Structure 1
Amino acid sequence: MDQAPGSPRDPQGPGDQGPRDAKGLPTCYRHPDRETGVRCTRCERPICPECMVSASVGFQCPDCVRDGSGTGHPASATQPRTLAGGAVAADPRLATKVLIGVNLAAFVVQLALGDRFTDSFDLFGRALLSGEMQGVAEGQPYRLLTAMFLHGSYIHIMFNMLSLWWIGGPLEAALGRARYLALYFVSGLAGSALSYLLAAPNQPSLGASGAIFGLFGATAVLMRRLKYDMRPLIALLVINLIFTFSPGFNIAWQAHIGGLVAGVVLGYAMVHAPREWRALIQYGVCALVLLVVVVATLVRTAQLT
């Protein structure tokens, strides 16, 4: 493994100001390609969200946490934590890789088995398939979840998986694996629930877009917290929303909006919860959003049956 710039064995010690890019802006001492305005509270080296470890005051870099700098305790006594309080993982993108793998595997099964597989697990309220009524209203609520892992075309899954890699990876590193997965699944379920609530009962819907828009929303909250330039993200989100509401694209806008709203709410809870109540607030808000999903599902089911 290559030695990270600015590590204790690197000539650039903790007291240095750290690398800068061509514009003279500070860049992370471990990831020189990433601009950042946040510095370690101990050594003052610039750190990106992936390298931030939450401390009692501000954030520390992984090297200071590992060495127990200034604490009087061995490195093993300090548990590295992400900005949101999650455990720092050896592979900060593992969950994102697994989610991409599951989506791709499901798509391969779709291609192999055809419509009979997709029709059994996509999302719709109720519809007549193969001579029988099927759907969430027919006692198949699992479709709210399984529809998140099905896609309608190569283009559909390509855009969703590219978005998941570009946005999900850094977000996973900033939140920690458990919080990231909670965000992904709850946002996806919120998107499915809003589709079920508002769409026509025989209108099929599928795809990871609700969860992806949830990641968009949480990323916006995180970038605002870190005082990053949000214009690129806002531009990308606006472009996606234009496509969402453009006629002719046959996009389930309800899933996008439901996921986006849930992502903003969950993202705010993840990065702004006070330290002493952090886990309770974070997972409590997840539970509240899930409760809304359940209520919306029950209300729509009562309307259709």
Structure 2
Amino acid sequence: MHPEEPVGPMPTDGQGRGSGPARCPRHPERETGVSCTRCGRPVCPECMVPAAVGFQCPECAHGGAPRQQYPPQQPRTTARGLLALGDGALVTKVLIGLNLLVFLYTQYVADGLQAGRLVLWSRALPSGARGGLAAGPDEWYRLVSAMFMHAGLLHLVMNMFSLWVLGPQLERVLGRLRYLGLYLVSGVAGNALAYLVTGADLQSVGASGAIYGLMGATAVLFKVTRTPMQPVIALLVVNLVFTFSLSDVIDWRAHVGGLVAGLVTGAGLMYAPRAHRNLVQGLTVAGVLALSLVLMLLGTARLPG
């Protein structure tokens, strides 16, 4: 997997043009989108040392290297040599925008189309119409589309606030493509577990499964960067207690499935061995998707004939 995102200061060919993605000086085989806030050098997840603002490289954190010791940043490029936009939260903003657009569509445009052939979301529909996540393989797409539909304005605001808090840091560390993969596979895995446990009549909507996946990946990031784990553990415990306390209105299955998928995917992305980094990362994402497919097959097999 090769992210196409701004990736920090780039080596140049002598004419000011970037020649490739930024790489950690201590681990040259690792691309990274994060720079030391003190000297500006690229720093990978293994080398990040938490600072009051952002992260520092080990040299600055432990030796107090002079600020801007690293050469001034050159124009940044994507993995294909295109000029970067310089937005470390672009995918997060796009996801928030998509969720908002789908909410407006389902609230003000599509009410009369809910019983049509293409049902885009999982929702309690009028008596006699189809409801739940999916009625079989021909509607598995709803395990994805339901991730972008919300039951009300408060539901949308809470999820989008969580996405904005958790997303940008992971997007900068992982890169856009890896981060998007993490988000999507977490959401799909959460809905697949809900589909397996509850079946086609489940009424479940929202980005919560994907967001719980981001929580899990954030816990992995804190572990990799040796950041104190108490805050993220407290966040997870509070959210899980809240989830199970209101299980009659909150889909705990999507939350738990998304959390586990986020932990597994985050570990695969951040702990991938140096020699086979891209291969291991790609296999991790593919493996979580394959497991989700197995859950969907098992769930479909349980549906009434």
What TM-score, normalized to structure 2?
A: 0.72
Match of 2:284 in 1: 285
Match of 1:45 in 2: 60
| Aligned residues of 1:28 and 1:45 also touching (Cα < 8 A) | no
Distance 2:68 2:278 in 1: 22
Match of 1:105 in 2: 101
Which of these residues, 18, 42, 52, is aligned with residue 35 of structure 1?
52
Match of 1:64 in 2: 70
Task: Assess, with a 3 A threshold, how the Cα gap between structure 1 residues 200 and 229 changes in structure 2: closer, same or farther.
Answer: same
| Aligned residues of 1:122 and 1:204 also touching (Cα < 8 A) | no
After the TM superposition, which of the residue ranges 288-297 and 110-119 deviates more from structure 2?
A: 110-119
Distance 2:250 2:54 in 1: 37
In structure 2, the gaps of 5 or more residues are 1-35, 41-49
The answer to which structure, 1 or 2, has the higher relative contact order (CA under 8 A, 6+ apart) is 2
After the TM superposition, which of the residue ranges 235-244 and 172-181 deviates more from structure 2?
A: 235-244
Distance 2:260 2:113 in 1: 30
| Aligned residues of 1:65 and 1:80 also touching (Cα < 8 A) | no
CA offset digits 1:103-153 (Å, max 9, x no partner)? 0111111220364456622237xx986745565234211100000000011
Task: Assess, with a 3 A threshold, how the Cα gap between structure 1 residues 131 and 118 changes in structure 2: closer, same or farther.
Answer: closer
Name the SS for the 1:203 alignment partner: coil
CA offset digits 1:3-29 (Å, max 9, x no partner)? xxxxxxxxxxxxxxxxxxxxxxxx943
Match of 2:28 in 1: none
Name the SS for the 1:64 alignment partner: coil
Task: Assess, with a 3 A threshold, how the Cα gap between structure 1 residues 133 and 207 changes in structure 2: closer, same or farther.
Answer: closer
Match of 1:136 in 2: 134
Distance 2:39 2:248 in 1: 42
Distance 2:208 2:218 in 1: 15
| Aligned residues of 1:38 and 1:226 also touching (Cα < 8 A) | no
Aligned residues: 248
| Aligned residues of 1:37 and 1:46 also touching (Cα < 8 A) | no
| Aligned residues of 1:194 and 1:258 also touching (Cα < 8 A) | yes
Distance 1:248 1:192 in 2: 15
Distance 2:72 2:177 in 1: 22
Distance 2:247 2:262 in 1: 26
Match of 2:234 in 1: 235
| Aligned residues of 2:183 and 2:211 also touching (Cα < 8 A) | yes
